[in-house]
Structure 1
Amino acid sequence: MRIVYIHQYYCNPQMAGGIRSYEQARRLVARGHTVDVITTDITPGARELGWRVTEEDGVTVHWFRVPYNNNMSYARRLRAFAEFMVLAGAKAARLRADLVFATSTPLTVAVPGVLAAKLRRVPFVFEVRDLWPEVPIEMGALRNPVARGLAGALANFAYRNAAEVVALSPGMAAGVTARRPGTPTTVIPNAADLDLFTVDQEQVRQFRATHDWLGDRPLIVYTGALGAVNGVEYLVHAAHRMRRLDPDIRVLIVGHGKEWESTKQLAAGYGLLGEVVHMWEKVPKSQLPVILGAASMSSSFVRPIRGLWDNSANKFFDALAASRPIAINYGGWQADLLRQTGAGLVLTPENTDVAAGQLVRHLRDEVWMRQAREAAHRLAVEQFSRDLLFERFEEVLNRSVGHRPVLSEQS
């Protein structure tokens, strides 16, 4: 099967970001499929002319430099989305395909996907990573009635034209079918990359020994975006209280985003920065396994908004892959999973002092920590391994192609 795979913010393991698309694409190639990824190059530097093409594990990746970062104005980000929408549409239309697959965000990637699929008379499959426009409306970020209407129409357009929709959580799937009942939808969450997160314990020992502030102390790690939805200051507030309860506990925040500086200033204001709380700029995915291997516990946070409970954050599954308990401050399907299996902690979202007490108590409970690590590992192996979830993903693509009409060779 020839697959055109559209993902505006595709990353490989040498880049900072989620590698879901990379892992799925390379596995498709290993199964004998041909995959062309269409994406953007957002690394800093001069604007280049035209497309740049690379090959990664048999996947052909087409890059076009379209600047983007979370510090841009809303209007500038919309311009980046629109620019890629046009570029990707033109590129996808020139590539041979038996199926076109597009993954959000942004939602605008559906447009080049649908148009290329219609031009080639092949199926279109759409992947929903965030539920738009429902989440930004609930957050208060999308207030203009006209913008809301356009975003809703775009979501309807994507779902209506998809042979099937892949949703990254049960809540996202429910949102898709609520908007457009009858849409064929399959839940395939983010995955645990077990091979990637299997690390040499000597590397972990060296990592801890290299950092004098860490040594053999308990370590809570946060890895990922520091954006408007994350509210990572929650961890800093909790660390302020933890210092009084247990001054040996350390916090490491590794990431980037619009609220990086404000989070850093909060830690500095508490007198935590460089002592209790350490902040590192984002690192390539390939460096995360040692960091998580050195962690006592990982973490994931969102602001207290119900729609954000349906997330499928990579950091949650990276923790499972590394056999590390994870602490979250929200409800929903991940909270249910942690309560049922004991693979982590569900912290109170309203009170960071209470959360600090929960963290200290569990970090110092050796029996609980051992059982939580074992539970995290079981979840990674039995429910969320990348290989296991890839089988479900390939089934969706094969099923979609199987439903299309037979075309002539000239098609």
Structure 2
Amino acid sequence: MKGLLFAKELQAVEGDRVTVVTGFPNYPAGKIYDGYRIRPITREVRDGVEIIRLPLVPGHGRNPLWRIANYLSFFASLLVWGLFAARKYDLVYVYHPPMTVGFAAALFSAVHRKPFILEVQDLWPESVVASGISGAGALERGLAAMCRFVYRRATHIVAQSHGMADKLIERGANASAMSVIYNWSNSEPAPLPPRSVPGDAYEFLYTGNLGIYQDLGTAIAATRIAHAADSRVRLTMIGNGAEKARLAESLTDADRAFIRFRDSVPQEDLLEIVANADCLLLHLRDMPFFEFTIPSKIPFYLAMARPVLAGIRGEAAGILRDSGAAEVVAPESPDAMARAMVALARETPERREARGRQGAAYYHEHLARNQAIRRTRALFVFPDGDKSR
């Protein structure tokens, strides 16, 4: 998710005034973060950006009632706020998912006759149905109709991949009002030095959401196989999510000697942890809509100048192969991932450094933040036809 940095960068490009309207932070665990309390509305300013927080019901995971309550409560809060307060703004930019946010914006921007841009990171309703939420299939037709309405109403749509853009056009989006802008990394440090922690272990690191889509049971199974073949192989998973407890409970006492979990950490601490990893790992379930999904983890991993191991298909797999940094295997295949783990662990330090350099170079040439911000800002056309505010 782009968040505060995205808003700051947009303000810097043309001197725009950006207001972020969001809920109270509760993702991915479905619990309100420490230091926050749900109120009717709060306002704060961080790094020069005004942030308005609206009430919602916190809830993630497979429980359909909590997830629906989460989506609908924020939809209602945003719609009411937008009908009363959005008139003073020149343009609305919506980050999706969930599409209920886009639906609210489509309604209040129509009332106020304001342009709105929709950035699509996830394809609904497929991703909702595939998430494992019981009862989601019954809602599929209604969700699809809502999505078509929002696509038609949007002034412009930003898709995160070419495959996703094609799918959106098939569903009624205007091809002439469609752009593809790849995700970028919030962190763009100078290339990290070789791993500084001495020792014979080879550390694979996963960072991010420990959810249903990631199917990190595959990574755990692969690590068991790889560790049996090469005892240097280790796996660390950093983050939270709906599947974390179940995954942790699946470990045996023997597994805990070479597989461990850590809670989410601040970004500055994460960079230090990444610097002490040998290879960064990602995995997605083998589902059709992931053929055209490019996880935000990919630009972050490449920017970190580390080798990458990915169980993934489609457009994202092509990017990783082209980068020269990654070994890509079929998703949901512990055996294939384990073979790649052992092969990576046995590469020379020079080869590991070369992979990292190639990945960082690819990131800065094709995925860098400044390029994406300029392209995004160029899409802003205000009601009077002006492109500056």
1:180 aligns to 2:162 (yes or no): no
Q: What one-letter code is carried by the residue in structure 2 that aligns with 1:49?
A: R
Corresponding residue of 1:153: 145
Corresponding residue of 1:323: 305
Residue 131 of structure 2 contacts residue 212 of structure 2 at CA under 8 Å; is this kept in 1? no
Q: What one-letter code is carried by the residue in structure 2 that aligns with 1:192?
A: S
Residue 362 of structure 1 contacts residue 368 of structure 1 at CA under 8 Å; is this kept in 2? no
User: In structure 2, how many angstroms separate the alpha carbons of the residues matched to 1:326 and 1:66?
Assistant: 37
Name the SS of the counterpart of 1:68 in structure 2: coil
Q: What one-letter code is carried by the residue in structure 1 that aligns with 2:243?
A: E
Residue 252 of structure 1 contacts residue 277 of structure 1 at CA under 8 Å; is this kept in 2? yes
Name the SS of the counterpart of 2:124 in structure 1: coil
User: In structure 1, how many angstroms separate the alpha carbons of the residues matched to 2:370 and 2:249?
Assistant: 41
Mean Cα deviation higher: 134-143 or 363-372: 134-143
Residue 38 of structure 1 contacts residue 92 of structure 1 at CA under 8 Å; is this kept in 2? no
Q: What one-letter code is carried by the residue in structure 2 that aligns with 1:148?
A: E
Q: What is the correspondence of 1:286-325 to structure 2 with a 5 Å cutoff?
A: 286-325=268-307
Q: What is the correspondence of 1:371-382 to structure 2 with a 5 Å cutoff?
A: 371-382=354-365
Corresponding residue of 2:29: none
Residue 127 of structure 1 contacts residue 165 of structure 1 at CA under 8 Å; is this kept in 2? yes
Q: What one-letter code is carried by the residue in structure 2 that aligns with 1:134?
A: E
Q: What one-letter code is carried by the residue in structure 2 that aligns with 1:185?
A: M
- Summarize the Cα distance change of 1:67–1:285 in structure 2 as closer, same or farther, 3 Å threshold: farther
Shift of 1:68: 2.1
User: In structure 2, how many angstroms separate the alpha carbons of the residues matched to 1:368 and 1:362?
Assistant: 9
Shift of 1:330: 1.5
Q: What is the correspondence of 1:31-42 to structure 2 with a 5 Å cutoff?
A: 31=13, 32-41=15-24, 42=26
Shift of 1:92: 2.7
Shift of 1:47: 4.7
Residue 161 of structure 2 contacts residue 180 of structure 2 at CA under 8 Å; is this kept in 1? yes
User: In structure 1, how many angstroms separate the alpha carbons of the residues matched to 2:333 and 2:294?
Assistant: 24
User: In structure 2, how many angstroms separate the alpha carbons of the residues matched to 1:322 and 1:145?
Assistant: 39
Corresponding residue of 1:258: 242
Shift of 1:139: 6.2
Corresponding residue of 2:222: 238
Q: What one-letter code is carried by the residue in structure 2 that aligns with 1:393?
A: T
Residue 59 of structure 2 contacts residue 66 of structure 2 at CA under 8 Å; is this kept in 1? no
Shift of 1:294: 1.4
Residue 152 of structure 2 contacts residue 173 of structure 2 at CA under 8 Å; is this kept in 1? no
- Summarize the Cα distance change of 1:226–1:350 in structure 2 as closer, same or farther, 3 Å threshold: closer
Q: What one-letter code is carried by the residue in structure 2 that aligns with 1:317?
A: P
Corresponding residue of 1:66: 56
Residue 193 of structure 1 contacts residue 385 of structure 1 at CA under 8 Å; is this kept in 2? no
Name the SS of the counterpart of 1:318 in structure 2: helix
Shift of 1:146: 5.0
Residue 62 of structure 2 contacts residue 133 of structure 2 at CA under 8 Å; is this kept in 1? no
User: In structure 1, how many angstroms separate the alpha carbons of the residues matched to 2:135 and 2:61?
Assistant: 20
Q: What one-letter code is carried by the residue in structure 1 that aligns with 2:79?
A: G
Name the SS of the counterpart of 1:268 in structure 2: coil
Aligned length: 374
Shift of 1:221: 0.4
Q: Which runs of 5+ in 1 are unaligned?
A: 1-17, 210-214
**Residue-by-residue CA offset, 1:313-364 (whole Å, 9 max, x unaligned):** 2221111111112111121112112223322011233531232121111232
1:22 aligns to 2:22 (yes or no): no
- Summarize the Cα distance change of 1:55–1:304 in structure 2 as closer, same or farther, 3 Å threshold: same
Corresponding residue of 2:366: 383
- Summarize the Cα distance change of 1:332–1:56 in structure 2 as closer, same or farther, 3 Å threshold: same
- Summarize the Cα distance change of 1:144–1:283 in structure 2 as closer, same or farther, 3 Å threshold: closer
**1:221 is matched with which residue: 193, 205, 217?**
205
User: In structure 2, how many angstroms separate the alpha carbons of the residues matched to 1:373 and 1:362?
Assistant: 13
Shift of 1:118: 1.9
Corresponding residue of 2:162: 170
**1:190 is matched with which residue: 158, 165, 183?**
183
Residue 252 of structure 1 contacts residue 279 of structure 1 at CA under 8 Å; is this kept in 2? yes
Q: What is the correspondence of 1:195-214 to structure 2 with a 5 Å cutoff?
A: 195=188, 197-198=189-190, 205=196, 208=197
Residue 304 of structure 1 contacts residue 330 of structure 1 at CA under 8 Å; is this kept in 2? yes
User: In structure 1, how many angstroms separate the alpha carbons of the residues matched to 2:173 and 2:61?
Assistant: 36
Q: What is the correspondence of 1:350-361 to structure 2 with a 5 Å cutoff?
A: 350-361=332-343
- Summarize the Cα distance change of 1:260–1:109 in structure 2 as closer, same or farther, 3 Å threshold: same
Shift of 1:385: 1.0
User: In structure 2, how many angstroms separate the alpha carbons of the residues matched to 1:35 and 1:262?
Assistant: 40
**1:52 is matched with which residue: 42, 59, 63?**
42
Q: What one-letter code is carried by the residue in structure 2 that aligns with 1:224?
A: G
**1:118 is matched with which residue: 110, 120, 128?**
110
- Summarize the Cα distance change of 1:346–1:406 in structure 2 as closer, same or farther, 3 Å threshold: closer
Residue 38 of structure 2 contacts residue 55 of structure 2 at CA under 8 Å; is this kept in 1? yes
User: In structure 1, how many angstroms separate the alpha carbons of the residues matched to 2:232 and 2:138?
Assistant: 52
Residue 57 of structure 2 contacts residue 66 of structure 2 at CA under 8 Å; is this kept in 1? no
Q: What is the correspondence of 1:270-281 to structure 2 with a 5 Å cutoff?
A: 271-273=254-256, 275-281=257-263
Shift of 1:111: 2.2
Identity %: 23
RMSD: 2.4
- Summarize the Cα distance change of 1:129–1:350 in structure 2 as closer, same or farther, 3 Å threshold: closer
Shift of 1:137: 4.1
Shift of 1:239: 0.8
User: In structure 1, how many angstroms separate the alpha carbons of the residues matched to 2:137 and 2:18?
Assistant: 39
1:332 aligns to 2:314 (yes or no): yes
Corresponding residue of 1:105: 97
